[in-house]
Each structure stands twice: as C-alpha cells, then as structure tokens.
Amino acid sequence: MNRQLEFNGSRYIHIGGTWYDRETFIKPPQIICSELDRLTPDLHGRPAVPIRAKVSRKPVSDTPAKPAASFTHERIFPLIANAIRRKYLQLEDYVEHDDIVDELLVDPDARSMILAAREAQGSTATIQAVASNMIAWFSQRITIHKSPYEVKFRRKKIRRAWAYRPIDV
C-alpha cells in the first residue's frame, strides 16, 4: 500500500520504500524523507511519534492539483514518446532505456526540463539519472494501465528495463 502525506505545502507518496514528491516524482532531500517517515502512521493508524506538524490525511488524487515547479507527466511524457519515435526511426528495433535517456538529453526542451527538475530537487544526481527516473515513471504509468501511451507502444524487457517501439510505424 502506498502511503501519501501532505507536509509543508507539498504532497508526497511512499513507493517501494522511497518517498517521492507527488507532483514532480522526484525524491525529496533526506531531511524531508526522515520527517515524512517520522510522521507516517503505523499499520494500525497510530502516529510513529506525536505529530507536531500539520499532516493532511485526505486521499490524494491521481492528478496533481497545481503544476509542478520542475516537471509533470503531462509535460515530459510527450517528449519521451517523441524521443522513442525518433530513435526507432534510426534503429528500426526496440529502443532501450539508455538510448531513450541519450535521446532526451539531445532534445533541447527535454534537457531543459531535466535540468530544471534536478535544480528544483536540489539534487547532485546526474542529468542521466534524472532523465532515467522520468522514463521510469513513463514505464510505471503504462504498467498500471494509467497512460495513453500504453496503446501507442509495444514494449519488452531488455536487460531488466523496458524497451519500446511505436505501434503505428
């Protein structure tokens, strides 16, 4: 079960042992992750420690309430899809994860979004790692059948990561 909290005006979701900003899907700084862990109720709904901060227990919708400062699925996913299509035209085969990363980094719009996301996070991660995380979200939304791109691409696992090819080519 994914835990979701609102803290200091931002919404966070806990997936696979890691906290992510609900709007940008970027990991927050460790100090915020520690505070979110401290504020998270246990399996019986009891706070881990007495709560002093205002924490929203409202369910968080799938759609962000306001535009993210760095990137949103709506802005980056079309750029990822276009990168896959461009690379497929060169390779005429499934486009692997690392090839998508490389293609995003040569696209000026995608690259500026990747740099903005890294800066907004205050991260020291490489731009390749930030782009890789964005692609992972693209894949995750397809996996849970919540992406319009599910019907636009075929995919298969290559070296433990999803590779894509357009259906309409």
Structure tokens, 44:
């019986």
- Bridge partners for 20 per DSSP: 13
The pLDDT value recorded for residue 1 is: 59
The pLDDT value recorded for residue 59 is: 53
The pLDDT value recorded for residue 106 is: 95
User: Residue 21 contacts by C-beta under 8 Å, 6 or more apart in sequence?
Assistant: 10, 11, 12, 27, 28, 68, 121
Query: CA-to-CA distance for 11 and 1, rounded, in angstroms?
Result: 16
The pLDDT value recorded for residue 5 is: 80
Longest dimension (CA), the chain: 57
Instruction: Divide the 169 residues of the chain into consecutive groups of 10 and give the mean pLDDT of each group.
Output: 75 80 78 79 51 48 47 90 96 96 95 90 88 93 93 94 91
pTM for the full model? Answer: 0.60
The pLDDT value recorded for residue 42 is: 57
Report CA torsion sign: 100, 102, 106, 111: positive
The pLDDT value recorded for residue 83 is: 96
The pLDDT value recorded for residue 10 is: 80
User: Residue 117 contacts by C-beta under 8 Å, 6 or more apart in sequence?
Assistant: 24, 26, 70, 71, 130, 134
The pLDDT value recorded for residue 62 is: 54
Query: CA-to-CA distance for 46 and 37, rounded, in angstroms?
Result: 13
